Structure 1
């Protein structure tokens, strides 16, 4: 019996679908992107580095 998704699971699924759709439509237009995947720790470190760089 299938269970309902939590709000966090729905958000994650939506983000992944949105990213996949964006990459697919970009590919059709002849554009290519390197997909960047960061875990929470890496994203936090990146945000801190950007804040230091731009004084935020």
Structure 2
């Protein structure tokens, strides 16, 4: 029996597919990307740091 995905799982899957599609498009155009590995709390801490730095 197949289980339905939760909204959180659907969102995560969509984001993964979107990122993969974007990277593939960039490769086709000849661009190279530096992939960021920030997730969860690390990403939140980085956002807070940037907001403090730029005064927002």
Scaled by the length of structure 1, what TM-score is found? 0.91
The aligned residue for residue 15 of structure 1 is 15
Select between 35-44 and 21-30 the one with higher mean Cα deviation. 35-44
Q: Post-superposition shift, 1:37?
A: 2.1
The aligned residue for residue 31 of structure 1 is 31
Q: How many angstroms apart in 1 are the aligned matches of 2:14 and 2:40?
A: 18
Q: How many angstroms apart in 2 are the aligned matches of 1:37 and 1:14?
A: 17
Select between 33-42 and 15-24 the one with higher mean Cα deviation. 33-42
Report SS of the residue matched to 2:17: helix
Select between 23-32 and 40-49 the one with higher mean Cα deviation. 40-49
TM-align CA RMSD: 0.8
Number of equivalences: 56
